[in-house]
Amino acid sequence: MSHAYDLPLWAAVLTALLVLIGAGLTLAGAIGTLRFKSFYERVHAPTLGTSWGTGAMVLASIVFFSALGTRAMVHEVLIAIFITVTTPVTLMLLARAALYRDRTEGSGDVPTKSDVRRSARSDATRVRGGTD
């Protein structure tokens, strides 16, 4: 840690706080995946780590390297943008795959396709206020 001797105190404290927040949120998400009961609940938990867990860690890295002045420091924003864009894509694909698997096995409490269609149709009738 010899490079940190040139660091101003406010930057060190800010970096420390952000790093702790990021790691704590990630750990909370991980414990969430252990404690939730079904897959559809568990799919929410890791997003704690991928949203503000990653965000706080990236901010900490930006603050640290900018205050140190070794390099001009917005590279880390790339990581934040990339994780923010890709996580919903991955999780949505995964949830659809899980739904498909549950439906083809006929297992669990997932709504079938005809259930979904029927409820969509009744919603549409209610919105129109008609009787068709």
Partner 1 sequence: MTPAVLFWSLAAAQIMLVAAMGCYAYRVVRGPRAQDRVLCLDALYVCAMLLALTVGIRTGSGVYFEAALIIAILGFASSVALAKFLMRGEVIE
The site for partner 1 (CB under 8 A) is made up of: 1-5, 7-9, 12-13, 15-17, 19-20, 22-24, 26-27, 29-31, 33-34, 39, 42-43, 46, 49-50, 53-54, 57-58, 60-61, 64-65, 68, 70-71, 75-76, 78-79, 82-83, 86-87, 89-91, 93-94, 96-98, 100-101
Q: Tokens for 51?
A: 């949203």
Asked whether the beta carbons of 56 and 18 are under 8 A apart, the reply is yes
CA 124 centroid distance within chain: 32
Distance CA 48, CA 56 (A): 11
Cβ at position 123, least distance to partner 1 in Å: 27
Asked whether the beta carbons of 23 and 29 are under 8 A apart, the reply is no
Q: Which is nearer to partner 1, 38 or 122 (CB)?
A: 38
Cβ at position 21, least distance to partner 1 in Å: 9
